[in-house]
Amino acid sequence: MDVYQEAVGYLKSQHVPAVVQTETEVMEEDVFQEEADSCPFSPLHPESVDFPDTPTLSSPEEMLEKRLMVLKCIMESEEVYLRELEALLMPMKALRASAGTSKPVLSSQQVQTVFYQVPEISDMHQSFFSGLKERLSAHCRSEPGPGEDGHMSYTGFELVVGDLFLKMVNQLGLYGGFIGNYEEAVQVVRKCTQSDPCFRTLAQSMMSNIGSDKTRTKYTFEALLYKPLDRVTKTTLVLLDLLKTTPETHQDFALLQEALRLSRSFLSGVNESSQSKRGVTLSHGMRRKLMRDGFVVDASEGERHMRHLFLYTDLLLCTRFKHATRGKQDQYRFGWFLPLAGLKLRWVADQHRSPDAQLRQHNMRTKMHLLRQQLRQHAQGSKGLAFAARSRKKLEQMELMLLTHSPVYTLELHSPSGKSHTLLLSSLYELEEWREAIHKVTTDNIETVPPDLLTLTSACVKLRMTQQPPLHSTNTAVEDEMSLCGTLSVAVHSACGLQQPASVYVCVEVDGYEFYDKQATTHSSIHSLNPHWDQELEFQVDAAQELRLLCVSQTDGKNDTVLGKTSVKLKSKTLNERWRRQTLHLGQVDVIVSLKFSPHPLEPPSATAPLHPVFCVPIEIVTQQEGVMVPHVVRCCAEEVERRGLAEVGIYRISGSSSDINSLKNVFNINLRDAVTRLRTAEVNVVSGVLKLYFRELPEPLIPADKFQSLARSLEIQDVDSRLVSLFSVLHSCPAPNRNTFLFVLQHLQRVSERQDTNKMTLINLATIFGPSLLRLPVAELGHIGCSMDISVEVVLQVQVVFCYLQCNNLPEAQTSLPHDTDSEDETTHM
């Protein structure tokens, strides 16, 4: 119900007769709807934003013809809007004059409040209307031939109006002040309407001439005050329709794209700060406001369906969108609703898909990738435009289907009444936005008024802030040269600012086309106030413009909790093949990351994700794949032992179940995050067994075999200091991954030995266990006599070498991650 209908209801409640609709007077219908009905190509008509189809124009000439019709409708609607503003401003001078008298209708402050920014908005639109009318008049003329109807001729490519729209959008800030003042202005009008008979007469019978026939339309003051609010929210729709009918080669195309970007940016702020337009009047003077809306996948009926979800101040409403035929208005059908009072939310991530589902997803991604390549190849010529329209339509349909069947995050909604519904989302970032929005308005004291479901559902067309699902293929503002196409690497280093120790992981998401996986997560850290990962995540991206990052606390047996989130704009001009280090603020948590980007043509998506096994693989290959100096399996096992195994008697001496060890080994070879999750709950002797098994199964020992004789000779040095210098000289000659991993293990074993009073594991005990795994004799080459040594002597040397290193009190610090060189100093990104 809009503001004018509220005014009519108020008149009836006060026994004041409402105006009856006649042929010469227009009732309370929104003026924009009148224009849309009379102009089939009106950019203000909901039909103009296709769902999910786009116009299929066969030639630039046809596009330009429709573009001209759209511009004419925009001009007509501007004229109507200016007359409404004129009607609103008409009593301003008289009210100002009366403010200085002994019996003012409104005080000077009240006059300023009621008309705040309205004159400036009127001047802005008058300037835009005059410029648009002048240019259309210069390029359009009617040429009726003998016996023919008027024929319109034009030079479409010469008609340039993009600068006018850009200038107008750059002044939308005027609406910001109006919107911020709107509620106060309405309160002044309502108060004075009730208390002052003179003002009531004025406020209930304001007139405006609408249309070429000068039809007299009757408004209330409050209805006219609502018009600017209604108008500004349709700016994006206007620009979208105009952009759809503007060829990419037209001079206006880039200007309109920039105007659309600015309009979206402004309106996103409006949607956050202003709830005025979204109010639905309830009984007893209460107002139900729309807080958020968007498209989600509803799995409540056992099947997946794309639905439009609306969050109001006291309930959730799920609707089914019904796309209207040409000339009619879009409609929403009621699906279900849940009161927010007592509503419980629970979310889980289901990353596992059946083989059939994976195959269907791969086939769809491959077809979408092929269509995308074809669209790039046929970007020029009239034939290319027709082909592009058909291909883009197919691309949108497949993207919509993929969005429906690919979500892996489940949001469960449980009402105290016993009703439950399940929503599916592809993005953890979007899920958290929904959860935050629901939590913000959910309290134990919510008063739920039984809604008029028919009225509430019907109002969705006017109240909605989201016009269609987030289809990347429909975003005409995306510029390939401004977005990323290639390989984006994200190294997640560490975090700080946690309020209490927690096991934390980081989820990274990118936007762009759905051809490739757009989300990856680090493994979960040990319980710590300052978690470290030093894990590198890699994305194949096409048309990516934004990176989203979430820090999530993982709790055994409970829901994971998002500690903070942020987004970063990806700019090809600032990213290159050198690492760029940044500190991102996610609320109270700071996360340090490094980014780099390598542009290149993309290959079709692969059917399965490449596997990177870690066991039985040379350590230099594993560390290169992971972008680290110490393999994650070594770090994670050592950290887990230190977290809960330092007091375990016989740690590393007592072995865990061989079947459990091999099972965990297999998971490490497939998925690091799943392996670390299982590591957190595995028996601690199984964890220590996995670490020992990793070193035993290395194709080459951690200390290269060709160093064995040099280390043996070092042991013969009698002077302790000289012996250590020789030992570390040999260690320094080892490859960096081997050297740093060895130092990391030594430091870990020293920390284990510090608790020897409890765990009974001394340095010599630990050296006895790890010596044969970390150091081995070289294997004799075929046809040659290798190094001959008694096995007992070999074991003694292995143990003695490791024991000597362990006895060093000032071991060099191990470097666990690769140095991420940057082009400049560290950046701090505040969100």
Q: What is the residue-wise DSSP string for 180-246?
A: HHHHHHHHHHHHHHHH-HHHHHHHT-EEEEETTTTEEEEE-HHHHHHHHHHHHTTHHHHHHHHHHTS
d(CA 96, CA 94): 5
Residue 433 lies in a domain: yes
Sign of CA dihedral 321, 410, 471, 232: positive
Predicted pLDDT of residue 373: 80
- 824 residue type, one letter: S
Say whether both 260 and 393 belong to one domain.
Answer: no
- Residue with the bigger pLDDT between 367 and 608: it is 367
CATH of the domain at 391: 2.30.29.30
d(CA 759, CA 645): 9
CATH of the domain at 561: 2.60.40.150
Say whether both 234 and 308 belong to one domain.
Answer: no
Say whether both 405 and 526 belong to one domain.
Answer: no
473 pLDDT exceeds 80?
no
Say whether both 327 and 245 belong to one domain.
Answer: no
3-state secondary structure 798-831: HHHHHHHHHCCCCCCCCCCECCCCCCCCCEEECC
Q: Is 329 left (phi over 0), alpha (psi -120 to 50) or beta?
A: beta
Q: Is 163 left (phi over 0), alpha (psi -120 to 50) or beta?
A: alpha
Say whether both 187 and 263 belong to one domain.
Answer: yes
Tell me the per-residue pLDDT of 709-749, one tens digit each, with 9 for 90 and over: 999 999 999 998 999 999 999 999 999 999 999 999 999 99
- Give me the domain span that covers residue 800: 619-779+787-807
Predicted pLDDT of residue 40: 34
Helices marked H in 554-618 — which ranges?
none
Residue 36 lies in a domain: no
**pLDDT averaged over every residue in the chain:** 80
Please, which residues have CB within 8 angstroms of residue 682's CB and are 6 or more apart in sequence? 656, 660, 664
Residue 613 lies in a domain: no
Residue where a domain stops, chosen among 249, 277, 305: 277
Share of the chain above pLDDT 70, in %: 78
Domain count, the chain: 4
Please, which residues have CB within 8 angstroms of residue 783's CB and are 6 or more apart in sequence? none
Residue where a domain stops, chosen among 277, 305, 322: 277
570 pLDDT exceeds 60?
yes
Name the least confident of 26-40, 89-103, 593-607, 610-624. 26-40
Tell me the per-residue pLDDT of 688-716, one tens digit each, with 9 for 90 and over: 999 999 999 999 999 999 999 999 999 99
Residue 541 lies in a domain: yes
Radius of gyration of the chain (CA): 35
Element (H, E) at 503: strand 503-510
Name the least confident of 42-51, 210-219, 422-431, 469-478. 42-51
CATH of the domain at 128: 1.20.900.10
Say whether both 310 and 347 belong to one domain.
Answer: yes
Q: Is 383 helix (H, G, I), strand (E, B) or coil?
A: helix
Length of the chain: 831
Q: What is the residue-wise DSSP string for 159-184?
A: ---HHHHHHHHTTTHHHHHHHHHHHH
Structure tokens at 68: 């001209």
Say whether both 688 and 731 belong to one domain.
Answer: yes
Residue 317 lies in a domain: yes
Say whether both 576 and 722 belong to one domain.
Answer: no
Residue 27 lies in a domain: no
Q: Is 95 helix (H, G, I), strand (E, B) or coil?
A: helix
Q: Is 370 helix (H, G, I), strand (E, B) or coil?
A: helix
Say whether both 448 and 361 belong to one domain.
Answer: yes
d(CA 492, CA 508): 9
Say whether both 388 and 415 belong to one domain.
Answer: yes
Q: What are phi and psi of 13, to 5 degrees?
A: -65, -25
CATH of the domain at 768: 1.10.555.10
Tell me the per-residue pLDDT of 615-650, one tens digit each, with 9 for 90 and over: 999 999 999 988 899 999 999 999 999 999 999 999
Burial class (CB in 10 A: 0-12, 13-18, 19+), 434: buried
Q: What is the residue-wise DSSP string for 729-769?
A: HHHHTS-HHHHHHHHHHHHHHHHHHTTHHHH---HHHHHHH
Say whether both 301 and 341 belong to one domain.
Answer: yes
Residue 473 lies in a domain: no
Say whether both 347 and 457 belong to one domain.
Answer: yes
Predicted pLDDT of residue 554: 84
